[in-house]
Structure 1
């Protein structure tokens, strides 16, 4: 049976939050398609609805206060109709997420090893020893030194860049169809940004994982993404191939985002300072 070209298909996604004044719309009719092994970049200013969209896909929003409508299909399976228990079996195994703040993704009272092993055993039939060995191998694969010692440490004993790579290691270990990376390089130094992005590209190239990449960094988008969706005030205002979007943006808002990129004016005096 032929696999669907779109591993993730989001159609007519609407998100509304319950307030004292009634239902307030946050996301308006979002349509997204993520092809197998591709990277889709989602860009837009803070508060435009990027993270809400991703949390809706993963069904992480409080159903008592937030109402979600629309179709979300993963490998042809409709997720919006699943019960919470069934969604928990899919979340983390078939579709995973790297959070913006890695410290929030781990419990401070359990070691990295305890949390890693529990994650693996929740979604597989591996024994504790097999899960431990798998975790150590995965940590080694993301260039974290002395994985066995790292497994005994607590999250607060690791830097932000190390925690990001631990989350990537968990994702690589379970080999999900889709990985959502929400600002994965925020607040990281240049060296750690490079490490994180290199590992994301490795997941895509080696395992065929599709990546939904959310970031404010247009440089990261230009390097990583195959296609780009631009979001403004809860709506997708433009979608295009990454080259088309950067070279020939169509929407006024997209042009404003590209024009807002930081540039370093170079003149003769600047060159002399750099070379000296």
Structure 2
């Protein structure tokens, strides 16, 4: 099938991120080129500190512009995001681009209930009233197999386990059917059983809503199970990009070969022990 312009949801071109400090300017991310196709999962892999999260923060326009400079193009469905006013970016974050962060506890404000935070997120991007937003929140939580969502909405973040909080975060991310979900190490804080649950939910969202996923991980087992294409990062640069099968079967770059030799595998076809 010939690729059309419409099938490319996100296009990152020649992205450079530099930090300004007392010694001058230090490059952190250099010459990044990425494309995210509709309904596909792009895995971004590399060791901690290689620039994966910085790349995602650049796409979300969440870096502090007083200390960092972002150069290059970040186009969402043809609309340039780099340099967009914060007011406009707030409309896009959560609705068109959802973000699932590494530590679910950091994603929630401890003094507000899960329901308050979920419902306010929905209402900030829609014209819906509280009752409609609550119904959507409950439906989204059902979708990720959370038990008794109406009751969970009354809980505070500390009352839920890490695995449950991560699923709530995925439910929030998926509730408005975003074009893109950026998942930054979404399984790192979880045990193997909850890792599998979270990855299956992400895959379900991708297949049902056509959301594209930028899956950031240092875990090649996760990437092997989930990604369609893979980009390998080292020292702020992408050193190799390939179809997932090609990358795992015929890696070209020495760094990719080293990563593959050190990997552990996570098998999603193994049964899940369903402890809520």
TM superposition score normalised by structure 1: 0.93
Aligned to 2:202: 200
Q: Distance in 2 between matches of 1:76 and 1:135?
A: 30
* Residues 10-159 of structure 1: pairs in structure 2 closer than 5 A: 10-159=12-161
Whether the 8 Å CA contact 1:4–1:76 is kept in 2: the answer is: no
Deviations 1:191-244 (A, max 9, x none): 111110010000110000000001122111111100000000000000000000
2:163 maps to which residue? 161
Name the residue aligned to 2:268. Answer: none
What is the RMSD of the two structures over their aligned residues, measured on CA atoms?
Answer: 1.1
Equivalent residues of 1:48, 1:232 under 8 A apart: yes
- The aligned runs of 1:172-211 (5 Å cut-off) are 172-211=174-213
Q: What is the CA-CA distance between 1:3 and the residue it aligns to?
A: 5.8
Displaced runs of 4+ in structure 1, greater than 6 A?
Answer: none
Corresponding residue SS for 1:4: helix
Aligned partners of 2:41 and 2:212 also within 8 Å: yes
Matched, 1:249 2:232: no
Which structure has the bigger radius of gyration? 1
Structure 1, residues 133-185: CA drift from partner, whole Å, max 9, x if none?
Answer: 11011111111101111000011111111111001101221110000000011
| Aligned-partner Cα distance in 2 for 1:10–1:51 | 15
Q: CA offsets per residue over residues 75-128 of structure 1, 9 Å max, x none?
A: 111111311100000011000110001111110000000000000000001101
Q: Which residue of 1 aligns with 2:217?
A: 215
- DSSP-derived class of the 2:248 partner: helix
CA contact (8 A) 1:117 1:132 kept: yes
Matched residues in 2 for 1:63 and 1:220: separation? 33
Shift of 1:10: 0.2
Give the aligned length: 262
The CA distance in 2 between the partners of 1:85 and 1:243, in whole Å, is 41
Q: Distance in 2 between matches of 1:11 and 1:195?
A: 33
- Post-superposition shift, 1:5? 1.9
Residue aligning to 2:227: 225
User: 2:50 touches 2:233 (CA, 8 Å); kept in 1?
Assistant: yes
Alignment-derived partner of residue 268 in structure 1: none
Q: Counterparts of 1:187 and 1:91 in 2: how far apart (Å)?
A: 24
Offset, 1:187: 2.2
Q: Which runs of 5+ in 2 are unaligned?
A: 266-276
**CA distance in structure 2 between the aligned counterparts of 1:35 and 1:256, rounded to whole angstroms:** 28
The TM-score, its normalising length taken from structure 2, stands at 0.93
